[in-house]
Amino acid sequence: MLEIKGLKVKLEEEDKQILKGVDLTVETGKVHAIMGPNGSGKSTLSYVLSGRDGYEVTGGTATMDGVDLLALEPEERAAAGLFLAFQYPVEIPGVGNMTFLRTAVNAQRKARGEAELSAGDFLKVVRERAKALKIDADMLKRPVNVGFSGGEKKRNEILQMAMLEPRMCILDETDSGLDVDAMKLVADGVNALRAEGRSFLVITHYQRLLDHITPDVVHIMADGRIIRTGGPDLALEVEKNGYADILAETA
């Protein structure tokens, strides 16, 4: 599904190399986790894959089912089936959440040559999926993320994911700022979306999210590289001993 080879990225505005050769393959239907200390480049990787401005790729490739992601505009990557759940979901005053969702869903359908959903069909689907995430009608009416609590914002991200039905989902620190109950709700939402044709890349600093979303593969990232890859046990090792041991091993 997702294949990253030797990806090197620096900041556009300053001479600072963030990713120093990332190699990572996420197979179709699998859940991969990336863990790592702050500043290791985890979030940068998610932004570069989704096409945010401000980064310059200085080497390597990133493809999704063979398609060069780095050559596409952000909206084209989305239409191709890539989704990033933001660490800090953006507030957009003046744009209703429902309008936003419908515009996004129909824009992607149009880009893929599918018919747009009628207002009635859309409403039916969105209500049903919102209910599962305990998102009420009021949250759908309000401007996107404006006045939402931390938990509501993250649930809203998962609702977008549920509506857009992407094939490759990247979750950037989705657990940050959530209490246990909110995290469980979000994790349930993600687990409900786990499917044969859908892959996940779960970026997290702590192991606790992985108690709820069980990964198939765990990667440790440090200083712009993947330094270790293993099974779910690797996450438990980090939880027990911290990153210091692993970092010392590879230093």
Cβ proximity to another protein: between 76 and 223 the closer is 76
In whole angstroms, how close is the CB of 21 to another protein at the nearest point?
25
Given the rule CB under 8 A, which of 8-16, 26-34, 70-78, 172-180 is the region that contacts another protein?
Answer: 70-78
Residue 108 binding another protein, by CB under 8 A:
yes
How many DSSP H helices and E strands does the chain contain? 10, 12
Residue 113 binding another protein, by CB under 8 A:
no
Residue 148 binding another protein, by CB under 8 A:
no
Interface with another protein (CB under 8 A), residue from 25, 28, 58, 103: 103
Cβ proximity to another protein: between 84 and 235 the closer is 84
Interface with another protein (CB under 8 A), residue from 55, 86, 148, 200: 86
Given the rule CB under 8 A, which of 18-26, 93-101, 121-129, 194-202 is the region that contacts another protein?
Answer: 93-101
End-to-end CA distance of the chain: 31
What's the CA gap between 189 and 51, in Å, rounded?
25
Residue span 36-55 as binding mask against another protein, x where in contact by CB under 8 A, dash where not: --------------xxxx--
Beta carbons of 56 and 12 less than 8 angstroms apart: yes
Residue 93 binding another protein, by CB under 8 A:
yes
Residue 87 binding another protein, by CB under 8 A:
no
What's the CA gap between 77 and 62, in Å, rounded?
12
Enclosing H/E stretch for 101: helix 97-111
Interface with another protein (CB under 8 A), residue from 26, 84, 217, 220: 84
Alpha helix segments (H runs only) across 112-207: 119-132, 137-141, 150-164, 180-193
What's the CA gap between 36 and 235, in Å, rounded?
10
Cβ proximity to another protein: between 51 and 224 the closer is 51
Q: From residue 155, give the alpha-carbon distance in Å to each of 73, 136, 139, 231, 241.
A: 26, 11, 11, 27, 31
Is residue 80 classed as helix, strand or coil in its secondary structure? coil
Residue 162 binding another protein, by CB under 8 A:
no
Residue 75 binding another protein, by CB under 8 A:
yes
Given the rule CB under 8 A, which of 29-37, 95-103, 118-126, 130-138 is the region that contacts another protein?
Answer: 95-103
Tokens of 158: 């998962």
Q: Could you tell me which of 211, 199, 217, 203 has the C-alpha nearest to residue 236?
A: 211
Given the rule CB under 8 A, which of 11-19, 32-40, 82-90, 147-155 is the region that contacts another protein?
Answer: 82-90
Is residue 136 classed as helix, strand or coil in its secondary structure? coil
> Which residues of the chain form contacts with another protein (CB under 8 A)?
50-53, 73-75, 77-79, 83-84, 86, 89-95, 99-100, 103-105, 107-108, 111, 143, 160, 164
